[in-house]
Amino acid sequence: MNLPISLPTLPNIPGLPPIPLPVLPPPFDVLIEFMQTSEFMEFAVELSLKLLVFPGLAFIMLYAMLAVWGERKLHARIHLRIGPYHVGPIFGLFQLVADGIKLLGKEIVTPERSHKFFYHLAPVLIMSLSMITLAFIPFFPVGPGEYWTIYYSEYSLLIILALFSLRPFIMIMAGWASNNKYTMMGAMRAAFQLLAYEVPLMLSMASVVILAGSFDLAKIVESQANMWFIVPCFLGFIVFFISTMAEICRRPLDIIVAEQEIVFGPWTEYTGMEYGLIMMSEYVDVAIASFLTSILFLGGWHGPGLHPLVWLLIKMGILSMFFMIGRSTWPRLRIDQLLDAGWRKLIPLALVQVFIAIVLVYVLKVIVV
């Protein structure tokens, strides 16, 4: 893969003896030898570039800052107020940095009779789970068959689905470990909601997979070159949008963290940077949701003119605004209404959509897989 930057090589300064390499037992000497080759160096630099810059840390921090600023300004304007005002250049852009520094200063409290190990493990897990999901999303084509993604596999959609289904366990772990009635109720609600909305999520993905013919996200985007999948499966788009909203628990489907009923759901007892991690993972989830929606239905990086990555970011930006606007337009649904909507309304719609997809592909042969 030709990288836009020059590769560093091991420094052998003339005049000084070459750096003696350590002699290690059998399995490691092969590893050391392999690390000498330029091919490994190239892989290491590229991987660190991906981990630390684009889909990794720097992008997430930047996106979170913009998302926090955008969301709070959007809600403020709808509430006829001003929103963050004093921190940072454009009226409060550095609000997340300010909140982060504040949270870093706060003490991390451990509730008295809570299960210490699992209590402190939960926020770390929820954050890492959200970040891992980013590793499998292809962002833009680099070569003919090459894509800019941390781990390229033909089953990337399946892996993401598997990671999505891991989320309720971490919430139950947090709810159970913090030894508080409200967190227990929040954990049970998390189990209900996330399981209820995984089925429509899968079915709406299924319709896209049928049209694209493969589980690989890159191929799905490639097959949307001339017609975005939102056109044939618009129903699928709606079902997918609503069920991802439930998966990342955004209002109006956020009974997991319903402040008015169960204080803050499974996350009630967390303070300090643990609370920061949980909030951060919420914005990473919004990023994932908008990436997935734009890749599956809005044709990923396809778009006239601009660089493919820019197109993906534009679509993702607009979609994340739509994920966030729910907070100030609809009140929260009750748990039984929410589950009823999940099981009785979304799943039939998704099934209809799958039927349409099958008809389109195999019966009318309109779309060649």
Partner 1 sequence: MSSYLRPLYMALVHAFKRTFTVKYPFEILQPAERYRGRIKLNMDKCIGCGVCSYICPNRAITLVEHEGRKYPQLDYGRCCFCGFCVEYCPRAALEHTQEYEIAAYTKEELIYSPLKMAEPAKPFDRRIVTVKGLDSKLGPGHG
Partner 2 sequence: MPIRVAWGIQHPMSGHLTLYLDVDGDIVLNTEADVGYTHRGLEKIAEYRNFIQYVPVIERACDFDASNFALGYVRAVEALMGIEVPERAKYLRVIAAELSRIMSHLYAQALLSMTGGFETMTVWSANDRELILDLLERLSGARVTHTYIIPGGVRADIPKGFKEKAYDVLNYLERRIWDYYKMLFQNKTFQDRTMGVGVLSKQDAIELGITGPNLRASGVDFDVRRDDPYEAYDKLDFEVVVEKEGDSYARALVRFYEIAQSIKIIKQALKDLPEGPIRCKTPPMLPRGETYTRIESGRGELGVYIVGSGTNKPYRLKISAPSFRNLAGLVYLCRDIPMGDIPVIYYSLDILLLDVDR
Can you give the binding site for partner 1, defined by CB under 8 A? 74, 76-78, 80-82, 85, 325, 328-330
Q: How far is the CB of 345 from partner 2 (least distance, A)?
A: 12
Per-residue interface string for the shown chain with partner 2, residues 155-194, x marking contact by CB under 8 A? --------------------------xx--x--xx-----
Return the residue matching tokens 């949307």: 224
Q: Which does 48 bind (CB under 5 to 8 A by kind): partner 2, partner 1, none?
A: none
Over its C-alpha atoms, the chain yields an Rg (Å, rounded) of 23
Considering only 116, 337, 359, 362, the residue that binds partner 2 (CB under 8 A) is 337
* Residue 141: strand pairing partners: 147
Q: Does 75 bind partner 2 (CB under 8 A)?
A: yes
Q: Which does 199 bind (CB under 5 to 8 A by kind): partner 2, partner 1, none?
A: none
Residues in Cβ contact with 269 at an 8 Å cutoff, skipping those fewer than 6 apart: 109, 111, 114, 119, 178, 180, 183
Q: Does 328 bind partner 2 (CB under 8 A)?
A: yes
Q: What are the b/e assignments for 42-59, b being 16+ CB within 10 Å?
A: eeeebeeebeeebbbeeb
Residues in Cβ contact with 47 at an 8 Å cutoff, skipping those fewer than 6 apart: 150
Please identify, among the stretches 58-66, 76-84, 201-209, 343-351, the one whose residues bind partner 2 according to the rule CB under 8 A.
Answer: 76-84
Residues in Cβ contact with 39 at an 8 Å cutoff, skipping those fewer than 6 apart: none
Q: Does 196 bind partner 2 (CB under 8 A)?
A: no
Please identify, among the stretches 14-22, 42-50, 305-313, 334-342, the one whose residues bind partner 2 according to the rule CB under 8 A.
Answer: 334-342
Site for partner 2 in 253-272 (CB under 8 A): 254-255, 258-263
Q: How far is the CB of 56 from partner 1 (least distance, A)?
A: 33
Report the C-alpha gap between 139 and 121 in whole angstroms.
30
Whose Cβ is closer to partner 2: residue 222's or residue 282's?
A: 282
Asked if 212 and 194 touch (Cβ cutoff 8 Å), the reply is: no
* Residue 147: strand pairing partners: 141
| Residue 363 burial (CB count, 10 A) | 8
Q: Which does 345 bind (CB under 5 to 8 A by kind): partner 1, partner 2, none?
A: none
Residues in Cβ contact with 347 at an 8 Å cutoff, skipping those fewer than 6 apart: 199, 200, 203
φ/ψ of 10, rounded to 5, equals: -60, 130
Q: Which does 77 bind (CB under 5 to 8 A by kind): partner 1, partner 2, none?
A: partner 1
Q: Does 79 bind partner 2 (CB under 8 A)?
A: yes
The tally of CA atoms less than 13 A away on the side-chain side of residue 319 is 29
Whose Cβ is closer to partner 1: residue 22's or residue 331's?
A: 331
Residues in Cβ contact with 79 at an 8 Å cutoff, skipping those fewer than 6 apart: 328
Q: How far is the CB of 243 from partner 2 (least distance, A)?
A: 17
Report the C-alpha gap between 277 and 284 in whole angstroms.
10
**Burial (CB count <10 Å: 0-12, 13-18, 19+), residue 239:** buried
Report the C-alpha gap between 83 and 72 in whole angstroms.
6
Spell out where 127-170 has E strands.
none
Q: Does 364 bind partner 2 (CB under 8 A)?
A: no
Considering only 157, 209, 332, 342, the residue that binds partner 2 (CB under 8 A) is 332
Dihedral, 243, 248, 253, 256 alpha carbons, nearest 10? 130
Site size toward partner 2, by CB under 8 A: 31
Considering only 44, 78, 359, 369, the residue that binds partner 2 (CB under 8 A) is 78
Whose Cβ is closer to partner 2: residue 133's or residue 268's?
A: 268
Q: How far is the CB of 197 from partner 1 (least distance, A)?
A: 18
Q: Which does 335 bind (CB under 5 to 8 A by kind): partner 2, partner 1, none?
A: partner 2
Q: Which does 189 bind (CB under 5 to 8 A by kind): partner 2, partner 1, none?
A: partner 2
Q: How far is the CB of 158 from partner 1 (least distance, A)?
A: 32
Q: Tell me which residues touch partner 2 (CB under 8 A).
A: 75, 78-81, 181-182, 185, 188-189, 251-252, 254-255, 258-263, 327-337
